[in-house]
Amino acid sequence: MERHTKPSGSLISFFSNKVKQNGGINLAQGIPGFPPPEKLINILLSHSTNGFHQYAPGNGDAGLLNLLTARYSKEIDLTNNNFLIVQGATEALNLIIIYLKQFIGKSFTIMAFDPAYESYKNLPALYGCKFVPFQLAEDGSFDPEKLREAIRENDVKLLFYCTPGNPYGKVFSKEETETLLKISRDEDFFIAVDAVYRDLYFTKKPYLPLEHFNHRLFYVNSFSKMLSITGWRIGYLIAHQSHMPRIRAIHDYTGLCASHLYQRAIADYLLDDRCGKPYTEILRVTLAKNYNTLKLALTEAGFTIPNADGGYFVWAKLPNGFTDGFEVAMDLYGEQKVATIPGEHFSDTSIGYLRFNIARPTEEIIEAGNRIKRFFEKRCSS
């Protein structure tokens, strides 16, 4: 059918643009449906009339660097020289790949857990590198020996992992994380920890291996999700002192610097408001409520939902009798004006899955759940 013709570009852009152009409920793109903290906006407005409109220092605003150093030094001995402020976490991922290609001296293989965030899958090819997924078990666990074998067979030199994850909100346990670090030491490869959802857990705060920080470990984070400012594009990279000088040199010619105005506004806000904890705690409670609300509605519609404990999304297996996530997503939007993302965007083995964004107002999640149930009730009764 013509309406089931797949686009050539990103499915996230494709389905999100449907809502932007024709209306509906956007559970497709990971855009927060919440305003940023009011205090942060007031600080931004004040700074916008008092300077900070020119280039920031390439490594980042001194105030923001000092704040980050103080925050992370509670867990590990770091200095400002271990940090680089970048244009969102995506720039940090790019810098890691570019740097390691120079450091290793050739193209290499990158691995991520399947289903994988789109940047993990698609960035490697831009730099002449190979991407290989590693399938998680149905319960979200992984077999260390099978992982070790896959890393050896594919000569993997970089592993990306996100905790909580995207599209599947798995939170890696301390034991799992330390297992990954041990395999990294044994097999001599690098790990990039993507922690953009670290503060958006539902029950237990994710474990991050900062106490084991070494030259094999890169740490990526941003303020986009924790403060609902995805358009500001302010993130940061933590790297070992042996890597950072060259990474900064690459950044000078590819990104130059992140917005000084936004960096300074974030730094002053965090200093003035307990590092953003009041806002993030409210957001975390809302996301957990939305997750449970949509999970219940999807379960009642026949979906199977693997356990997750954080992040922006519900990862859901289609009800029995439905096998093509793209077709379902097209029909769901066409009939009920609810946009979601087919699982195939994140994994070749997840054609029968959909990803739903829960970072929306709760009343919107409730309405979306009702529309989804109506859609499947109608399909199952016809």
Q: Which run of H or E residues covers position 134?
A: strand 130-135
Check if the beta carbon of residue 291 is closer than 8 Å to that of residue 202: yes
Q: Quickly list H helices, the chain.
A: 11-22, 38-48, 62-72, 88-104, 118-126, 144-154, 174-187, 244-254, 260-272, 277-300, 325-336, 362-381
**Residues spanned by the domain of 94:** 38-272
* Statement to judge: residues 130 and 67 lie in one domain: yes
Return mean pLDDT, the chain: 95
Q: What is the pLDDT of residue 122?
A: 94
Answer with the one of 238, 272, 306 that is the final residue of a domain: 272
Is 247 found in the same domain as 155?
yes
Count of alpha carbons within 13 angstroms of residue 132, beta-carbon side: 16
Strands 190-194, 235-238: parallel, antiparallel or unpaired by DSSP? unpaired
How many domains would you assign to the chain? 2
Domain end call among 208, 240, 272: 272
Tell whether 24 and 145 lie within a shared domain: no
164 and 254 both lie in a single domain: yes
| pLDDT band, very low/low/confident/very high, at 51 (cuts 50, 70, 90) | confident
CATH number of the CATH domain containing 347: 3.90.1150.10
The confidence band for 333, taking pLDDT boundaries of 50, 70 and 90, is very high
Find the mean pLDDT for residues 106-122: 96
Element (H, E) at 316: strand 313-317
Residues 44 and 14 in one domain: no
> 309 with 167, same domain?
no
Taking phi over 0 as left and psi of -120 to 50 as alpha, with beta for the rest, 51 belongs to left
Give tens-digit pLDDT for 309-321.
999 999 999 999 9
Q: DSSP class of residue 310? A: B
**Total Cβ atoms within 10 A of residue 352:** 18
Residue 1 or residue 305, greater confidence? 305
Structure tokens at 274: 């307990």
3-class state of residue 344 by DSSP: helix
Per-residue pLDDT band for 345 (boundaries 50, 70, 90) equals very high
Residues 215 and 329 in one domain: no
As beta bridge partners, residue 37 has: none
8 and 68 part of one domain: no
On the question of pLDDT at 364 being above 80, the answer is yes
- Looking at the fold, whether 227 and 309 belong to one and the same domain comes out as no
Tell me the per-residue pLDDT of 164-190, one tens digit each, with 9 for 90 and over.
999 999 999 999 999 999 999 999 999
Q: Return the pLDDT at 9.
A: 80
116 and 221 belong to one structural domain: yes
Q: Supply the pLDDT for residue 1.
A: 42
Tell me how far apart the alpha carbons of residues 137 and 143 are, in angstroms, rounded to a whole number: 8
pLDDT in tens, 54-83: 999 999 999 999 999 999 988 788 999 999
* 229 and 82 together in one domain: yes
3 state DSSP class of 169: coil
Mean pLDDT within 100-127: 96
- Are residues 140 and 183 in contact, defined by beta-carbon separation less than 8 angstroms? no
The region of weakest confidence among 243-257, 335-349, 368-382 is: 368-382
What pLDDT, on a 0 to 100 scale, did the predictor assign at position 315? Answer: 98
Per-residue pLDDT at 381: 74
Q: What is the pLDDT confidence band of residue 2, given thresholds at 50, 70 and 90?
A: low
Q: Rounded to an integer, what distance in angstroms lies between the CA atom of residue 300 and that of residue 219?
A: 39
Place of tokens 């798995």: 170
Size of the chain in residues: 382
Asked if the model's pLDDT at residue 4 lies above 90, the reply is no
Residues 115 and 237 in one domain: yes
Residue with tokens 């999970």: 295
pLDDT on residue 82? 96
- Which amino acid does the sequence have at 314? V
Q: Are residues 345 and 120 in contact, defined by beta-carbon separation less than 8 angstroms? A: no
Question: Which of 229, 247, 272 is the C-terminal boundary of a domain?
Answer: 272
pLDDT in the model for residue 77: 86
The domain that holds 56 is classified in CATH as 3.40.640.10
**Mean pLDDT of the 358-370 span:** 98
